[in-house]
Amino acid sequence: MQGIRDDRPVIIGISGSERAGGNTDLALDYAGALVRERGAVFRTVYLRDHRISPCSPCGDCNNRLSPCALPDDMPAIVEEMKRADGIIYAVPVHGFGLAHLMQIFIERAGVGYLRFDRPLANKVGGIIVTGRRYSDASVHNQLVDNLLLNRMILVGSGFPALLRNTSSEPGLHDTEGLEALERMAHRMIDMTLLLRKHRSATGEPVLPLADRNERVVRQRSASLTHS
């Protein structure tokens, strides 16, 4: 109904898989069902459905003071991420590393848009990695670094949500991986609600937002600089 504001938490799932209906999509659908059961909103962004250009040879990313000028769908995706309370990156392992769609995406998003004031700061982050057997932990670690770089809050869930499937057919057969995914999804919602409760009660974020760009020189404590 128009005119009614929806104040439910919003979680965005970003799929970096080229394969529709594959293991990564199934895992993200599972996470979405858990989020919706908690009364929150879950939306999925399939990178394969968007036009995302790889970084060009312009070479001015570290010097320019404005967002990337390449004409594609990146600005709209970044804006949707800004509006969300939490973001889940879901990606398969390709060639023992991060699938190229997600690699292109985090490069363009980070250097092209997010580095100026870290607008994802204090949003809750989650990671799902699907694979056959090898290198899923390495891919997970790379995405952890990306979430931390963007000042996001990574909620521990015990073991990371690494889902393995050695079958040629897509399926969620990894019981331990699914349990880790479930814990992650619930803890993301719990943290989102806690952050909202704190802001509602105090009018302030739980963590300060003043230090949002690592390129800006920080004011250090006098006792530390002269020790």
Average pLDDT, the chain: 90
What digits encode the pLDDT tens for the residues 4-15?
Answer: 557 899 999 999
Number of Cα atoms under 13 Å in the Cβ half of residue 91: 32
- Is residue 178 within 8 Å of residue 163, measured between CB atoms? yes
Higher pLDDT, 135 or 222: 135
Average pLDDT estimate for 139-148? 96
Q: Is the pLDDT of residue 95 over 80?
A: yes
The pLDDT value recorded for residue 220 is 66
Task: Report the percent of the chain where pLDDT is more than 70.
Answer: 90
Give the chain's length.
Answer: 227
Question: In the structure, what pLDDT confidence band is assigned to residue 1 with cuts at 50, 70 and 90?
Answer: very low
Q: Is the pLDDT of residue 118 over 50?
A: yes
The pLDDT value recorded for residue 67 is 86
The pLDDT value recorded for residue 217 is 66
Q: Is the pLDDT of residue 144 over 70?
A: yes
Query: To which residue do tokens 């790379």 refer?
Result: 142
Tell me the pTM: 0.91
Gap between the Cα atoms of 67 and 52, Å rounded: 15
> Other C-beta atoms within 10 Å of 151: how many?
21
Gap between the Cα atoms of 12 and 32, Å rounded: 9
Helix (H) / strand (E) element for 202: namely helix 175-202
The pLDDT value recorded for residue 113 is 87
Average pLDDT estimate for 32-41? 98
